[in-house]
């Protein structure tokens, strides 16, 4: 299956709460994000088998802030997926934003262990996204809820990663301020595609800031000027996001389907 086909398939499986009948052994990945938690199961070739997700704020800027809440959600997602798959999951991979260190870096592993999944490895989020996109040469920009991260791959090798606060949360804060609504209302308004055209002028400064962050991360690296750029993460769902980001960044960018599911799919591939 091609990378974009896999992402579309995973979306279908999650939306319909069904499993793909593919032979094991399976790989499991858990993405503990700022805005949501996603559990994905793939076969040995990285084809999606099942998945489940929940909107939740148990992580902030890559740091687990609600340990027991996060554990409970992973337990629930694990049970849901086990039910549609008819088998028990015992191990899984996790991911963290690049640059997360010390106890913070260990927290995701502890969460999934608490939920009954032995942590097998932990990778950088944009690296997972690159794996899902099957890229060996290019720049992956991951704009999630809390942070903007990049991974640069050269001949299959990771040559640069970086991560900075500013993500979809900041987009919602700006919307909340502009329309005088709560953060939660802004999140809902933002996730409705029918509103995207109306909110775009309000959020362009945040998108420009994200592009500036990425430009700064790549400053002094002219050798990557010709690399293809892929933007993933839930924020890239915004209609016109790729165009506005590309304009501010000064380069054309590719936005895969269901950008929120790219990193979770890649994490499972490492599981």
Binding site for ligand ATP (CB under 6 A): 31, 33-36, 59, 62, 125, 144-147, 167-169, 187, 190-191, 233-235, 237-238, 260
Which is closer to ligand ATP, CB of 194 or CB of 219? 194
Which is closer to ligand ATP, CB of 114 or CB of 165? 165
Which is closer to ligand ATP, CB of 11 or CB of 224? 11
Residues 6+ apart with CB under 8 A from 122: 93, 94, 95, 96, 105, 108, 109
φ, ψ of residue 17 in degrees (nearest 5):
50, 50
Buried b vs exposed e over 221-236: b needs ≥16 C-beta within 10 Å?
Answer: eeebeebebbbbbbbb
Smallest separation, CB 8 to ligand ATP (Å)? 15
Smallest separation, CB 223 to ligand ATP (Å)? 27
Which is closer to ligand ATP, CB of 174 or CB of 260? 260
Smallest separation, CB 27 to ligand ATP (Å)? 19
Half-sphere exposure of 70 (CA within 13 A, CB side): 27
Do strands 138-143 and 59-60 pair parallel, antiparallel, or not at all (unpaired)? unpaired
Q: Quick check: 260 and 240 in contact, CB under 8 A?
A: no
Cis peptide before 25 (omega within 30 of 0): yes
User: For tokens 């070739």, what's the residue?
Assistant: 45
Smallest separation, CB 2 to ligand ATP (Å)? 21
Q: Quick check: 39 and 30 in contact, CB under 8 A?
A: yes
Which is closer to ligand ATP, CB of 22 or CB of 212? 212
Smallest separation, CB 98 to ligand ATP (Å)? 11
Which is closer to ligand ATP, CB of 232 or CB of 248? 232
Which is closer to ligand ATP, CB of 24 or CB of 240? 240
Distance of CA 132 to the CA centre of its chain: 11
Distance of CA 131 to the CA centre of its chain: 12
Smallest separation, CB 220 to ligand ATP (Å)? 25
Smallest separation, CB 264 to ligand ATP (Å)? 8
């Amino acid at each position: 299956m091609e990378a974009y086909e896999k992402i579309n398939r995973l979306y279908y499986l999650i939306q319909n709460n069904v499993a793909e009948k593919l032979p094991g052994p399976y790989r499991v990945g858990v993405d503990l994000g700022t805005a949501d938690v996603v559990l994905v199961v793939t076969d040995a070739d990285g084809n999606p088998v099942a998945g489940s997700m929940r909107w939740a704020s148990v992580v902030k800027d890559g740091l687990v802030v609600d340990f027991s809440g996060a554990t409970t959600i992973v337990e629930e997602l694990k049970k849901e997926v086990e039910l549609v798959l008819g088998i028990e999951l015992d191990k899984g991979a996790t991911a963290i934003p690049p640059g997360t260190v010390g106890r913070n870096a260990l927290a995701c592993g502890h969460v999934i262990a608490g939920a009954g999944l032995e942590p097998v490895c932990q990778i950088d989020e944009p690296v997972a996204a690159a794996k899902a996109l099957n890229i060996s040469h290019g720049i992956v920009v991951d704009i999630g809820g809390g942070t903007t991260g990049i991974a640069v791959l050269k001949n299959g090798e990771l040559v640069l990663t970086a991560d900075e606060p500013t993500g979809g949360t900041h987009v919602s804060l700006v919307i909340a301020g502009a329309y005088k609504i709560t953060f939660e209302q802004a999140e809902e308004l933002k996730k409705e595609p029918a509103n995207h055209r109306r909110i775009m002028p309000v959020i362009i400064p945040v998108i420009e800031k994200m592009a500036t962050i990425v430009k700064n991360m790549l400053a002094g690296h002219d050798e990557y000027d010709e690399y293809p750029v892929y933007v993933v993460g839930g924020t890239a769902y915004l209609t016109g996001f790729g165009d506005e980001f590309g304009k501010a960044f000064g380069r054309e960018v590719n936005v895969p389907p269901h950008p929120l599911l790219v990193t979770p799919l890649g994490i499972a591939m490492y599981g």
